[in-house]
């Protein structure tokens, strides 16, 4: 049944429970939905209602733990929130195979974010550019006055750059405010600064400012991770060469690079989500960075070291925080940080980069050897069993049967379930 009308005036003024009732009625759903969505798991309705708008319930995603990771000499258990099977297992698998060489070494370029102020209606953009640059100390003062708390935590304005862009509507003079946002992802912090600085830029140049917003291409907040996998640990030179060939494919072809990077983001987004950070911000930054040369490229690099072992590295923007957004308000996100023993946003970003690299190693190794389906579908089999209506012990029985038949398919699962229930 389709919804009678999507116009529900004042829905936002109701409580989550009242809204749910209205939506169930409007969508013509049965009363069971009330019970199902009424159970909000470990996010209470009041907290959920304060996070987004028009809340009627919550969507629980499994939270798994990646084991085996050694990052900068420290053992770390990493929580990952994802709906996709084999993603967590893949990280455990990759991390286990590089423990012998010390695991992952990571670094961060800094915690600098960029806010952009777009200025238009300028006939002499080169002149305006210099006018803005001359006011660097005024801009610093305005930015820092906007966020004294950030200043207290060692952050604040660092620099400006001014670019001239030729748009279809005429020249644009774009000011980048470069701000150290420390343990915050920083979107709200730098957006406030951009809005505070904009009227001054208009006054100095006589132009008109439009957009005042951060850039998600956080290329001054790059997380880096590297690791070495020995031939012995990965199963020999043929496996190494298969991984190198897989990387070469991604480096050469954007169609392949998109899938290659999707695999990396399987790990990255799962940790970003588990910690209540903004998955879209990180994803937009990653893909823009991957395309920075003009050709969409791999976020990882794979090489052979002097001893013939496999060296993997990753470098990508990772604007994540421990403050702001849902990182503080979502109780599970706070626990996720505690599991990792995280005290700085810098450490969180570095762990996420290591997870991205591990994820890529596992996927490339599987692709270059047995193929992805063997491991992935074996773990996906339980999902298929649940999707066809299996419950309790039926789930494991069906999953095992699907794997042993080598046919992890819905139609086969349905047949097995039918036979089990006869
Ligand atoms: C699936 C495996 C791990 C099997 O790998 P395997 O070698 O058959 O597993 P194993 O039973 O020998 O176990 C090896 C280790 O893997 C881990 N492991 C093994 N099973 C589990 C489990 N159930 N739960 C947690 N951890 C598990 C665990 O660490 C274990 O060591 P242990 O702890 O036993 O000493 C392997 O085939 C693999 O890594 N595959 C890659 C899977 C993958 O990348 N999945 C992502 C989804 S596919 C996709 O979206 C991305 C893609 C592929 O398109 C990207 C691209 O194209 O580049
Ligand atoms: N394009 C995008 O990506 C956009 C994203 N967003 C959203 O913005 C949110 C993130 O913004 P963000 O600015 O991080 O969040 P907040 O504004 O909530 O938090 C940052 C603020 O926390 C205070 N603070 C306290 N301690 C620290 C510390 N140690 N380090 C840094 N700051 C500290 C600072 O000052 P004070 O207390 O004075 O605020 C700082 O400005 C996310 O929810 C994201 O989804 C919003 C718009 C656009």
| DSSP secondary structure, 262-274, as one string | HHHHHHHHHHHHH
Do the Cβ atoms of 337 and 322 come closer than 8 Å?
Answer: yes
Counting ligands in written order, which one lies closest to the CA of residue 330? 2
Beta-bridge partners for 222? 317
Q: Which residues of the chain have pLDDT under 50?
A: none
Instruction: Identify which of 88, 89, 262 to mutate to test ligand 1's pocket (most ligand atoms within 8 A of the CB).
Output: 89
- Determine the distance from the C-alpha atom of residue 86 to the mean position of all C-alpha atoms in its chain, rounded to a whole number: 18
Q: Give me the pLDDT at residue 371, please.
A: 87
CATH code for the structural domain at 63-107+233-368: 3.90.770.10
Do the Cβ atoms of 157 and 181 come closer than 8 Å?
Answer: no
- Determine the distance from the C-alpha atom of residue 300 to the mean position of all C-alpha atoms in its chain, rounded to a whole number: 16
CATH number (3.40.1350, 1.10.760, 3.40.50, 1.10.8) of 375-421 reads: 1.10.8
213, two tokens: 């917003």
Give, for 107, the enclosing helix (H) or strand (E). Answer: strand 105-108
The ipTM, to two decimals, is: 0.94
Do the Cβ atoms of 89 and 209 come closer than 8 Å?
Answer: no
Give, for 213, the enclosing helix (H) or strand (E). Answer: strand 208-214
The Cα–Cα gap between 24 and 332 comes to 28
Question: In ligand 2, which atom is closest to the CA atom of 188?
Answer: 13
Closest CA to 413 of 186, 344, 391: 391
The Cα–Cα gap between 189 and 170 comes to 30
Catalytic annotation, residues:
84, 262, 278, 376
Closest CA to 310 of 382, 263, 368: 368
Query: What sections of 28-159 are H helices per DSSP?
Result: 32-38, 45-51, 87-96, 125-134, 136-146, 148-152
Q: Give me the pLDDT at residue 14, please.
A: 97
197, two tokens: 């600085």
Do the Cβ atoms of 144 and 156 come closer than 8 Å?
Answer: yes
Q: Give me the pLDDT at residue 1, please.
A: 57
| 194-212 pLDDT per residue, tens | 999 999 999 999 999 999 9
The reply to whether ligand 1 has any atom less than 6 angstroms from the CB of 300 is no
| 136-190 pLDDT per residue, tens | 999 999 999 999 999 999 999 999 999 999 999 999 999 999 999 999 999 999 9
Do the Cβ atoms of 321 and 57 come closer than 8 Å?
Answer: no
Question: What residue ranges do the domains of the chain occupy?
Answer: 1-60, 63-107+233-368, 112-214, 375-421
Do the Cβ atoms of 115 and 146 come closer than 8 Å?
Answer: no
| Closest residue to atom 43 of ligand 2, CA basis | 325
Helix (H, G, I), strand (E, B) or coil at 290: helix
The Cα–Cα gap between 100 and 357 comes to 16
Ligand 2 pocket by C-beta < 6 Å: which residues? Answer: 147, 149-150, 153, 155, 181-189, 191, 214, 216, 278, 281, 321, 323-325
- Assigned CATH topology for domain 112-214: Alpha-Beta Plaits (3.30.70)
The Cα–Cα gap between 95 and 100 comes to 10
Give, for 173, the enclosing helix (H) or strand (E). Answer: strand 170-180
Cα dihedral 95, 96, 101, 106 in deg (nearest 10): 20
Beta-bridge partners for 167? 170
Beta-bridge partners for 313? 226, 301
Give, for 356, the enclosing helix (H) or strand (E). Answer: helix 345-368
């Amino acid at each position: 049944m389709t919804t009678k009308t999507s116009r529900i005036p004042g829905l936002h003024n109701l409580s989550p429970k009242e809204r749910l009732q209205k939506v169930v009625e409007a969508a013509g759903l049965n009363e069971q939905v009330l019970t199902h969505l009424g159970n909000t798991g470990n996010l209470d309705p009041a907290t959920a209602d304060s996070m987004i708008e028009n809340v009627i319930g919550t969507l629980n995603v499994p939270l798994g733990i990646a084991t085996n990771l050694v990052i900068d000499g420290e053992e770390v258990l990493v929580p990952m929130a994802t709906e996709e099977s084999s993603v967590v297992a893949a990280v455990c698998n990759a991390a286990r195979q590089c423990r012998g060489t010390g695991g992952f070494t990571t670094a961060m370029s800094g915690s600098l974010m960029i806010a952009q102020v777009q200025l238009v209606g300028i006939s002499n953009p080169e002149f305006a550019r210099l006018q803005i640059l001359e006011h660097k100390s005024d801009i610093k003062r305005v930015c820092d006055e906007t966020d004294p708390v950030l200043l207290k935590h060692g952050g604040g304005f660092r620099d400006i750059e001014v670019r001239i862009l030729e748009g279809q509507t005429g020249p644009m003079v774009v000011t980048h405010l470069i701000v150290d946002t420390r343990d915050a992802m920083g979107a709200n912090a730098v957006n406030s600064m951009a809005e505070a600085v904009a009227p001054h830029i208009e006054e100095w140049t006589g132009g008109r400012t439009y957009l005042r917003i951060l850039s998600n291409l956080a290329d001054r907040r790059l997380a880096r991770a590297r690791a070495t996998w020995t031939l012995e640990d990965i199963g020999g030179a043929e496996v190494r060469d298969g991984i190198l060939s897989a990387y070469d494919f991604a480096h050469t072809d954007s169609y392949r690079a998109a899938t290659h990077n999707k695999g990396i983001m399987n790990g990255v987004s799962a940790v970003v989500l588990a910690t209540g950070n903004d998955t879209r911000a990180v994803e937009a930054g990653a893909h823009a960075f991957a395309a920075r040369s003009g050709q969409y490229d791999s976020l990882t690099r794979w090489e052979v070291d002097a001893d013939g072992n496999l060296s993997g590295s990753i470098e990508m923007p990772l604007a994540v925080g421990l403050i702001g957004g849902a990182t503080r308000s979502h109780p599970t996100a706070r626990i996720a940080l505690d599991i990792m023993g995280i005290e700085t946003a810098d450490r969180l970003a570095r762990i996420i980069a290591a997870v991205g690299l591990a994820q890529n190693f596992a996927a490339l190794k599987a692709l270059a050897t047995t193929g992805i389906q063997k491991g992935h579908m074996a773990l996906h089999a339980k999902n298929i069993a649940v999707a066809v209506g299996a419950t309790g012990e039926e789930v494991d029985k069906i999953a095992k049967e699907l794997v042993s038949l080598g046919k992890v398919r819905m139609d086969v699962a349905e047949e097995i379930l039918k036979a089990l229930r006869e």
